[in-house]
Amino acid sequence: MATINTNTDKMNDIIDMLKVAPERDTSDATATASDILSGKTAYAKGAYVTGNIASKSSSNLTVSGATVSVPAGYYASNASKSVATTSVVTPTVSVSTSGLITASATHTAGYISSAATKTATTTMTTKAATTITPTTSTQTAVAANTYTTGAITVGAIPSSYVKPSATQAAKTWTPGTSNQTIAAGTYCSGAQTISGASTLTAGNIKTGVKIFGVTGTYAGPSGYVVPTATQAAKTWTPGTSN
């Protein structure tokens, strides 16, 4: 052990002597710089060791998402770090044109401190069971975004709406002495034209005769009297009277 003469040695000499001549054998020491706080010193295995363990505090903690990072080091007291909090958001409900019902909610990043349940509903237009009778006009069976609570039935199409099997192509009809008829239920695929005559006038028809709704007024040539009595062919035998 080194002897220190406090009467003659200066203080600095005492410190130097302590560094090189410690009172205790440190050859069995196991501490290294990583076991000693930064700024602190010690002797180990006859060497003067300066620690490198960093001192840390709550300010050194970092938060990223759900992870709190705690860097290595010495914490002289409990360390904590507050994280952002959030709450459960009420979802919104939507119905697509294809009938898909979607509930969605967007939460801000953060810690949900307590359990919570949020509900949301939406009301769809409903249509009860019904039977639709076909007409000549367009009808909407079920409106968009409507929920049917029963069957929607389309009634049978009336036979009058169905194209008949008998058809009549376009034709010009010339009036005659007998009626000409298009049968009932016949589908006319073209125009049907009834011939007319510019000579069908009252002056061209014998008086008293009616043709296609036109009553004749023709009385014969001027000075000609239309007889009211007729005589069929006959052989006359002269007698004593006229």
State the pLDDT confidence band at 16, using cuts at 50, 70 and 90.
Answer: low
Cα–Cα dist 50/31, whole Å: 10
Res 165 pLDDT > 70: yes
Highest mean pLDDT pick, 44-58, 87-101, 137-151: 44-58
Cα–Cα dist 62/68, whole Å: 6
pTM here is 0.34
How much of the chain, in percent, has pLDDT values that exceed 70?
A: 88
DSSP string, 45-70: TTEEEE--BPEE-GGG-EEETTEEE-
State the pLDDT confidence band at 45, using cuts at 50, 70 and 90.
Answer: confident
Q: What is residue 2's predicted lDDT score, i.e. its pLDDT? A: 45
85-133 pLDDT per residue, tens: 888 888 988 887 777 888 888 888 778 877 788 888 888 888 889 998 8
204-242 pLDDT per residue, tens: 988 889 988 899 898 877 666 666 777 888 888 887 877
**DSSP conformation class of 206:** B
Q: How far is CA 170 from the centre of its chain?
A: 49
Cα–Cα dist 60/77, whole Å: 13
Per-domain residue ranges of the chain: 24-55
Q: Is 5 exposed, middle or buried (0-12, 13-18, 19+ CB in 10 A)?
A: exposed
Cα–Cα dist 82/77, whole Å: 16
Res 196 pLDDT > 80: yes
Look-up of token digits 């014998």? 206
State the pLDDT confidence band at 56, using cuts at 50, 70 and 90.
Answer: very high
Q: What is residue 95's predicted lDDT score, i.e. its pLDDT? A: 81
Q: What is residue 1's predicted lDDT score, i.e. its pLDDT? A: 42
CA dist 21 → 14, 114, 158, 163, 194 (Å)? 10, 63, 122, 125, 143
